[in-house]
Structure 1
Amino acid sequence: MKLRAVLGIALLTITASTQALAGATLQRVEQNKELVGVLMESYPPFSFLNEQNQLDGFDVDVAKAVAQKLGVKLKLETPSWDVIAAGRWSGRYDICICSMTPSKARAEVFDFPVQYYASPAVIVVNAKDDRIHSAKDLSGKKVGLTSASSYESYLNKNLVIEGAEDTPLSYPFEDVQIAPYDTDNVAFQDLGLGAGVRLDALLTNLVTAQPRLNQDKRFKIAGAPLYEEPNAVAIEKGDAEWNAKVRQVFAELKADGTLSKLSQKWIGADISK
């Protein structure tokens, strides 16, 4: 009887702690009347510092819309991508509306309540470079990318996009030298120095790359897109109540046209569908 009683108490304790975790984020947001979002400081047109030195962009505006729906103020923080993508935030951040591609590895530490846009991953090279025409030409080349990104997993040949496990990716290259950067900005600067000077190519998002290509003729896209990147909202794993609330808010933002309008504003096309 004593053993049963102890087991019963332990079970109740586990159940209570699980229930407390399930509603922890929403309770914190409502009590503090503040949503703490996390994203990159330099990932235009999704997030960047504008001329007033304020965070701006598609992801920023989406985060503002989410906070407005929740009836709370928004606080944005910009740690390194390594910190964001590592997860296990321990309550420091409530949500990542930060262009994260859901992968099998990330799904171990995050839940992805909703996909809010999609865009292709592409190879960018120096405009004077005629060596690279497709992914197979990356063999033996030095390729820049954002550290801990899906592009790094792709070049390591272990990217599994969550929800697309039945569509394996193609890796037609060998022995790529990966050059990780904190942001795309420095990678583009290094690529702009010339073909093979510091970089041979970089991998990035087509939507992010296109404005640079339109304005700077030193760069061009090489070949076809590598894969279609779904980008999802990320939250700490295991909080069912917060997961459901985020789904509800984004359903409202889609239904009332907010996501479409913000996409048209920042991208010039609706990538939210």
Structure 2
Amino acid sequence: MRPKIFVSLLLVALIAILPAAHADDVMQRARERGWLVVATAPAPDQLPQAAQDTSGQYSGFDVDVSNEIGHRLQLPVRFVSPGWNAVLAGDWKGQWDFAVASITPTEAREKHLIFAGIYRFDAATLVVRKGDDSIERPADASGKRIGVRKGTTFEDYLRQTLVIYDNPNAVTFLINDPKITTYPDRDEVVNALVDGKVDAIVTSLGLAEHDIAAGKPLRIVKGFLFFEPVAVATDKSDPKFAQLLGDTLRAMRTDGTLGTLSEKWFGIDVAGIVP
């Protein structure tokens, strides 16, 4: 009987360690590879957040944050642009290690992702064509045609289903019964407004200011719609790695690095805003 008991105990021990043996180890994989892979910049140009030029080089606040994380984890960083839906779906199968892609935490997204830490806050704003004085405040857009990128918190706001992560009372819905048109990427949203296909769009303040600086004939309507946190995310394969990222972000906030990078790209410390 003793051999059978020994074999049984051995099987129990093996079963107990199987999860650990099969658990993903992102840092080990990255060290073997020689670099960290970061998902960012779902669109070609989303400055000041992120952009990719014709040579394939990335720049922007999200890019600088990613590079600083890599520096502190003692690994260089390489970037990929897998697309918004692929990032939010989770289960990345090791194709990239973490995402710095302007992702707002929500309960629905938390089913597929781990939000390692907040690295900035975005102000959502309403934008109209320059010279259009029919919308002077957000409430004036009620019943109007409004364009928005599909699957974003901006769409949730217009549909009045938005719940800010860990702060359910943070949103006041100022626009009623809009005629919503969704687009697969942000460039189409902006072009629809410029071309008169919609009366207004909802986007982040930083991107709206970039559009105007780039010569788009647009105007930002006074009064923010809401503030939302933006997080670094991982899939659910390695919670310890997510914790490591969170610790790194907290150190970057404490020593002022996030604030310095924010002022470089936004002109203000959007990393330190507390709505």
Q: TM bucket by the smaller chain?
A: 0.7 to 0.9
The match for 2:185 is 183
1:91 equivalenced with 2:107 (yes/no): no
Once the two structures are overlaid, the 10-residue window that deviates more, 201-210 or 146-155, is: 146-155
SS across alignment from 1:105: helix
Change (3 A) 1:264 1:174: closer
**Equivalent-residue separation in structure 1 for 2:152 and 2:145 (angstroms):** 16
Aligned residue type for 1:19? A
Indicate conservation of the 8 Å contact 1:121/1:228, yes or no. yes
The match for 2:139 is 136
**Equivalent-residue separation in structure 1 for 2:18 and 2:30 (angstroms):** 19
SS across alignment from 1:263: helix
Aligned residue type for 2:97? D
Indicate conservation of the 8 Å contact 1:144/1:187, yes or no. yes
Deviations 1:135-166 (A, max 9, x none): 4333333322222211112222222221112x
Change (3 A) 1:117 1:129: same
The match for 1:64 is 67
The match for 2:129 is 126
SS across alignment from 2:107: coil
Indicate conservation of the 8 Å contact 2:145/2:179, yes or no. yes
Aligned-pair Cα RMSD in Å? 2.7
Deviations 1:196-228 (A, max 9, x none): x21111111111211323453621122411111
The match for 1:241 is 240
Structure whose alpha-carbon radius of gyration is higher: 2
TM-score by length of 1: 0.85
Give 1:52 deviation, angstroms: 4.8
Deviations 1:15-72 (A, max 9, x none): 5354346552232223322211111232111111247552111101111111111111
Q: Aligned residue pairs: how many?
A: 265
Deviations 1:68-90 (A, max 9, x none): 11111212111222222232322
Alignment of 1:1-273 (within 5 A): 13=15, 15-20=16-21, 24-40=25-41, 41-50=44-53, 52-165=55-168, 167=169, 169-193=171-195, 197-216=196-215, 218-237=217-236, 239-273=238-272
Mark the runs of 5 or more structure 2 residues left unpaired by the alignment: none
**Equivalent-residue separation in structure 1 for 2:268 and 2:17 (angstroms):** 46
Change (3 A) 1:9 1:174: farther
- The ranges of structure 1 where at least 4 consecutive aligned residues each deviate by more than 6 angstroms after the TM superposition are none
Deviations 1:114-154 (A, max 9, x none): 11111210010112223323443333333222222111122
Indicate conservation of the 8 Å contact 2:174/2:225, yes or no. no
Change (3 A) 1:83 1:179: farther
Mark the runs of 5 or more structure 1 residues left unpaired by the alignment: none
Change (3 A) 1:217 1:180: closer
Indicate conservation of the 8 Å contact 1:42/1:183, yes or no. no
**Equivalent-residue separation in structure 2 for 1:161 and 1:91 (angstroms):** 29
SS across alignment from 1:242: helix
**Equivalent-residue separation in structure 2 for 1:98 and 1:151 (angstroms):** 15
SS across alignment from 1:187: helix
Change (3 A) 1:19 1:220: same
Indicate conservation of the 8 Å contact 1:120/1:205, yes or no. yes
